[in-house]
Structure 1
Amino acid sequence: MHTIWKGAISFGLVNIPVKMYAATEDKDISMRMLHRDCGTPISYSRRCPNCEMPVENEAIVKGFEYEKGRFVRFEKDELDALAADASREIKILDFVDLEEIDPIYFQKTYYLGPGDTGANAYGLLQQALKDTGKIGIARVTIRNKSSLAAIRIVGNCISMETIFYPDEIRPAAQVPNLQTTMNVSDKELTMAKMLIEQLSVPFEPEKYHDEYREQVMELIEKKIAGEEIEIAPEPRRTNVIDLMAALQASLEAAKDKSPDVAAATDRGAAGAGAPGAGAGAGAAKPKRTRRKAAGAEDDAKDGAGKEPARRR
């Protein structure tokens, strides 16, 4: 792993040298913008519309627009000086229980490995966090951005997860059309709880895949090979307006997947007085259509930025 930051964790009078590594990686498929006529990648330059000339990095300063068209300027050294003192320290302020932090606060995860010295202190904090079940709430500055952070154990490694400040979280009450009171029937609620129970499983992250990325990569490989491309039609959707019918159809679909689910659902449905099976649970799988690679490529260009049809 590539070291992206060096500093120290501090709590009380304890100082632990650490190196920071990215714990996650972006697997998005990167694409270039091309000129349709000749296929040449499009280049972008920083240009001043007033002076009508390109601007080099050395001639660029940052500015804050405090009124329309009016800015205060900042040289790079001015901003760097503000974070200079705190840029190499992860200062733990408090220790809390992980369950107390809502997931909405979490941003990005980093691994913190032992520094060139202080391995014993690193091991001490690691074991203390494990034994107490606590996590540390710290303040850290990375790339001139101050953040709160949660210090916890992942595997046998101390990790740091940057978290938002409270004033960066928008109140859910600002969401339009939220209902303050819910008018839910007992039958609908019973059916919904049954469906949740039938679909509840232990969390196994390895079984989830980025299906869109896999389909794009498959399409890329076929285009490179010049093969014909199969495009699956949009799935047939049933416009179910009745909520009870939708819940019943979902339970019927869950029953088809597992005999155990079927037995449990039948028992629960009888107790809830549920209606008969909803329609559309066993819709036939649509046939695939074949297009030649050249035609599919034109479609892909015309629909740039749109999500391609997914395979069922």
Structure 2
Amino acid sequence: MHTMWKGSIGFGLVHIPIKLYAATESKDIRFRTLHEACHTPIRYQKYCPVCDKALESDELVKAYEFAPGEFVTVTDEDLNELKGDAAKTVEILDFIDLSEIDPIYFNKSYFVGPAENGEKAYTLLRKAMEETHKIGLARLTLHSKTHLAAVRVYEKGLLLETLFYPDEIRSVDQVPGIDSDLPVNERELDTAKQLIEQLATAFDPKKYTDDYRSALEDFLQAKIAGQEVKKPKQAVQKRNVVDLLSALEASIAGAGRNERPSASKAAHTKKKAPLTLNKKKKA
């Protein structure tokens, strides 16, 4: 596994040498852009329109645009000086309960592994956090940015999850329509709660798959093998549901017959057949 970052975890006067490793990976299937005439992959060049020429990497500098068309340049040395010692330290600021962090703050996950001569201190920290049921709220510099992060026990090791800062989270008040406090029918509410209880289950991540990626992989393999690619027809679901209560009751009835749709199909159905509240049939 590729080491993405080397440094130490620091809390109080304790410093534990560590390494960070990517805990997740993108499974997205990426496409290249080709020249249609000869099927050659195209190249994107860094080009200066004033000098009318393509540029090499050593001809480029970083700059901040403080006003339209006006820049101040900065060097890597300038930025490294600002980072100081924080560039190589995961500094734990506080120990808190994981439940205190809303999931909206979580950004990206990294496995934390001990570096050379750090195994004993690493194990001590992991066991102490495990027995106190606490996580570390930390700060570190990663990819030229200072992050907040949560350091927590994950299976037999430690996991670091970068967090958004509070000012990076948009206010929910910006969402149109959420201030509409419409009256809720008690029967509809009770039926909705009944449906939730009926569909409630323990979280098992293994049963959720990316159906589109799997279909795309099969499609591409068939193309590679020179097979005829067949596109399946999309079934059209007929619905006679005219109000929210009927939809909930129909869902409960369907759940009772084990007609529970997959997560991806449920999301697709929501988009295709939005329900309206107390919509009456026309005479």
Tell me the TM-score normalised to structure 2 length.
0.87
Which residue pairs with 2:24 in the alignment?
A: 24
Tell me if structure 2 keeps the 8 A contact 1:23–1:111: yes
- TM-superposition CA deviations, 1:137-192 (whole Å, max 9, x none): 01100121100110100011011111111111111111112125232111211121
Secondary structure in 2 aligned to 1:16? strand
Say whether 1:123 aligns with 2:123: yes
Counterparts of residues 1-312 of structure 1 (less than 5 Å): 1-238=1-238, 240-257=241-258
Please report how far the alpha carbon of residue 110 of structure 1 lies from its aligned counterpart in structure 2 after TM superposition.
0.8
Following the alignment from structure 1 to structure 2, what is the Cα–Cα distance between the partners of residues 193 and 36?
55
Whichever residue aligns with residue 28 of structure 1, its letter is D
Tell me if structure 2 keeps the 8 A contact 1:16–1:121: yes
Following the alignment from structure 2 to structure 1, what is the Cα–Cα distance between the partners of residues 84 and 56?
26
Following the alignment from structure 2 to structure 1, what is the Cα–Cα distance between the partners of residues 199 and 227?
39
Q: What is the RMSD of the two structures over their aligned residues, measured on CA atoms? A: 1.5
Following the alignment from structure 1 to structure 2, what is the Cα–Cα distance between the partners of residues 188 and 245?
9
Following the alignment from structure 1 to structure 2, what is the Cα–Cα distance between the partners of residues 245 and 8?
58
- TM-superposition CA deviations, 1:73-106 (whole Å, max 9, x none): 2123222322242111001000100000000001
Deviation larger for 57-66 or 8-17: 57-66
Tell me if structure 2 keeps the 8 A contact 1:61–1:76: no
Secondary structure in 2 aligned to 1:257? coil
Secondary structure in 2 aligned to 1:231? coil
Please report how far the alpha carbon of residue 194 of structure 1 lies from its aligned counterpart in structure 2 after TM superposition.
1.6
Deviation larger for 61-70 or 197-206: 61-70
Please report how far the alpha carbon of residue 254 of structure 1 lies from its aligned counterpart in structure 2 after TM superposition.
1.2
- TM-superposition CA deviations, 1:251-301 (whole Å, max 9, x none): 23212217xxxxxxxxxxxxxxxxxxxxxxxxxxxxxxxxxxxxxxxxxxx
Please report how far the alpha carbon of residue 22 of structure 1 lies from its aligned counterpart in structure 2 after TM superposition.
1.0
Which residue pairs with 1:301 in the alignment?
A: none
Whichever residue aligns with residue 215 of structure 1, its letter is A
Structure 1 180/95 Cα, relative in aligned 2: closer, same or farther at 3 Å? farther
Secondary structure in 2 aligned to 1:247? helix
Whichever residue aligns with residue 258 of structure 2, its letter is K
Please report how far the alpha carbon of residue 31 of structure 1 lies from its aligned counterpart in structure 2 after TM superposition.
1.3
Whichever residue aligns with residue 190 of structure 1, its letter is D
Following the alignment from structure 1 to structure 2, what is the Cα–Cα distance between the partners of residues 163 and 23?
15
Secondary structure in 1 aligned to 2:257? helix
Secondary structure in 2 aligned to 1:35? coil
Please report how far the alpha carbon of residue 64 of structure 1 lies from its aligned counterpart in structure 2 after TM superposition.
1.8
Whichever residue aligns with residue 244 of structure 1, its letter is L
Name stretches of at least 5 consecutive residues in structure 1 with no aligned partner. 259-312
Secondary structure in 2 aligned to 1:65? strand
Secondary structure in 2 aligned to 1:95? strand
Tell me if structure 2 keeps the 8 A contact 1:135–1:152: yes
